[in-house]
Structure 1
């Protein structure tokens, strides 16, 4: 359903280091970089689905209250690793890895990056 998603940053180099460290646990890697933007995608996908960008309008990047970008995780262990890597890179804990009440197999962790963007890693496989 979604073609791609973006999160804004005020420091692209710092954001790139953060996402380079945390997204590989979910199967994403940096695939493109251009002035003002970095694109991440899965090896099997021909297009970047997650972008970190400096806002086009040159205003400071801000995060949305109530906005969460949830990324599919292949395993619960990958959710745990994503969360640990995010914290090690200076991210903020917004919900430790664990089962959530959305359904019996909804295992997720929530973090915020340096710019306040909220991300979740979610594994819906029963384990």
Structure 2
């Protein structure tokens, strides 16, 4: 559906330290040779989806969009908890602990976090069965 996503940051080292472990856990390899001030994971344009970090092109401070969420698929509920823990351990902040929500279907297991730059993330396993969760 998408070719790539680029989000702005004013601190590429901090952003890379946050996003790198999450992308690795999701199975996305870092891209190389992107140039100074850039980081990325995933595939090139002809190979699939890419996720990039860089300073905003307009030279203004980076900011997160209100209401925007980047949702990442998890393998299972344990992976949701792992991704959430990675986010918090690498400078992110809590926006909703792992679990189900009354306003979603009971098989939708999710955790929410904010990146150090304020971007909202969701880690989602949408085939949750509490009887199969050994965590």
Which residue is equivalent to 1:14?
A: 14
- CA deviations 1:43-85 (Å, max 9, x no partner) are xx93442211211112110111111111111221111001111
- CA deviations 1:72-104 (Å, max 9, x no partner) are 112211110011111111210001111133222
Runs of 4+ with deviation above 4 angstroms: none
SS in 2 for 1:34: coil
Q: Which of 107, 113, 116 does residue 114 from structure 1 map onto?
A: 116
Aligned counterparts, 1:62-73, within 5 A: 62-73=63-74
Structure 2 unaligned spans of 5+: 130-135
RMSD after superposition: 1.9
Which residue is equivalent to 2:93?
A: 92
Aligned counterparts, 1:1-127, within 5 A: 1-32=1-32, 33-41=34-42, 46-100=47-101, 101-127=103-129
The structure whose Rg is larger is 2
How many pairs align? 125
Equivalent pair of 1:26/1:78 in contact (CA under 8 Å): no
Equivalent pair of 1:25/1:79 in contact (CA under 8 Å): no
Q: In the aligned structure 2, how far is the partner of 1:2 from the partner of 1:60?
A: 25
Structure 1 unaligned spans of 5+: none
Q: In the aligned structure 2, how far is the partner of 1:17 from the partner of 1:67?
A: 22
Equivalent pair of 1:29/1:40 in contact (CA under 8 Å): yes
Q: Which has the higher strand share?
A: 1
State the TM-score, normalizing by the size of structure 1: 0.86
